[in-house]
Amino acid sequence: MLSQALKSLLRPDKRVVVLTGAGISAESGVPTFRGEDGLWKKFRPEELATFDAFISNPQLVWEWYEYRRKLISEVKPNPAHHSLVKMEEYFENFHLITQNVDGLHQKAGSKKVIELHGNIKRNKCIKCGRELEELEFSSKEIPPKCTCGGMLRPDVVWFGEMLPAQAINEAYKVSSLCDIFFSIGTSAVVYPAAHLPVVAKQGGAYLVEINIERTELSDLADEVFLGKAGEITPQIAKAIREA
Ligand code: BJW
Ligand code: ZN
């Protein structure tokens, strides 16, 4: 049930920012990193999603990503992703920021997505930085090599690495200037993404969280929906149509 305060804010001229995390794709069948049914139980991202881990065991890290790529290529966006497409169409000033690398927002039809942690479909050479799509190289070797001889790695952001400057700068800017900030399906423990809702709140935004469990952010939020993103987000989209 949406509060009256939130309902009254759901006007087309309100500036809206949505930050999504792994939880929004959970109902599509993409495992999350942490939380109750946090998936990669065998692999802690803090151990595998680092450049050092890649250098010490490139094969293992590459194969983890290959496994996930295959899984992601077989799943579909869920009602939460689709509801955000409706919200993008409704609000005149709408920004979708995602920590996910699965491309499911784009697959659902979201036109503009700020990807903070890269995209699992792309690769880049660790030596010359060249970006390559999956089909542009032969994978006889694991990991495959670039024409310059350097190893290819997924074009995602690992711990200790800088986020793409344009993406994080835009994310900070729109978060500091918004009227409503939705944090959906993120444990809000990985920085700098976890700082965005705080910046929004400091800027006067109404902070809404959607998650199956309480997080680090819950105490700061104006409204917490404890439930599945695929069930709650459509209720927000429905309220917009009724506003
Ligand atoms: C549902 C649901 C359903 C389930 N419906 N909900 C400040 C303080 C402390 C540390 C740092 C700091 N600044 C930087 C750091 C270090 C570090 C960091 O944050 N560490 C913390 C863990 C302590 N950050 C970095 O290193 C970042 N870089 C950086 O800061 O650069 C500057 C710098 C460089 C060098 C030196 C110093 C500074 C980079 C972070 C990169 C994160 N990369 C990963 C991997 C990406 C590639 C890949 O996919 O393999 O990104 S890690 C992983 O975590 C992935 C995610 O995007 C990210 C966030 O996870 P997310 O999305 O929140 O998922 P979960 O699983 O944690 O949560 C899921 C949630 O969904 C749960 O809450 C569930 O309850 C919920 N849920 N089902 C709704 N159906
Ligand atoms: Zn190269």
Task: Look up residue 135 and give its DSSP letter.
Answer: G
Q: How many CB atoms lie within 10 A of CB 158?
A: 19
Least confident of 128-132, 136-140, 178-182: 136-140
Interatomic CA distance for residues 114 and 232, integer angstroms:
22
- Residue 84 phi/psi, 5-degree rounding, is -70, -25
Exactly one of 81, 105, 117, 195 is catalytic; which is it?
117
Q: Where in the chain is the domain with CATH 3.30.1600.10?
A: 38-74+125-156
Using CB distances shorter than 6 Å, the residues near ligand 1 are 21-23, 26-27, 32-36, 38, 45, 49, 99, 101, 117, 156-162, 185-187, 189-192, 210-213, 215, 228-229
Pair of tokens at residue 216: 């680090």
Which ligand lies nearest the alpha carbon of 38? 1
pLDDT at 32: 93
Residue 6 has a pLDDT of: 96
Q: Using CA atoms, how far apart are residues 2 and 16, in angstroms rounded to an integer? A: 16
The segment(s) of the chain belonging to CATH 3.40.50.1220 are: 4-29+76-117+162-242
Question: Which tokens sit at 203?
Answer: 């800027």
Burial class (CB in 10 A: 0-12, 13-18, 19+), 195: middle
Question: What is this structure's pTM?
Answer: 0.96
> How high does pLDDT run on average in the chain?
93
pLDDT score at 147: 87
Does 95 qualify as catalytic in the annotation? no
Please report, for residues 114, 147, 149, the alpha-carbon distance to residue 87 in angstroms, rounded to integers and kept in the order given. Answer: 15, 43, 45
Least confident window among 29-43, 68-82, 90-104, 164-178: 29-43
- 209 forms beta bridges with 183, 224
Q: In this structure, are residues 240 and 233 in contact, taking their beta carbons and an 8 Å threshold? A: no
Over pLDDT 90: what percentage of the chain? 84
**The domain 4-29+76-117+162-242: what is its CATH number?**
3.40.50.1220
Instruction: Report the C-alpha gap between 236 and 83 in whole angstroms.
Output: 8
Lowest mean pLDDT among 64-68, 206-210, 213-217: 64-68
The predicted pLDDT at position 11 comes to 96
Which atom of ligand 1 sits closest to the CA of residue 33? 66
Band the pLDDT of 91: cuts 50, 70, 90. very high
The answer to whether domain 38-74+125-156 has CATH 3.30.70.100 is: no
pLDDT, mean of residues 59-75 = 93
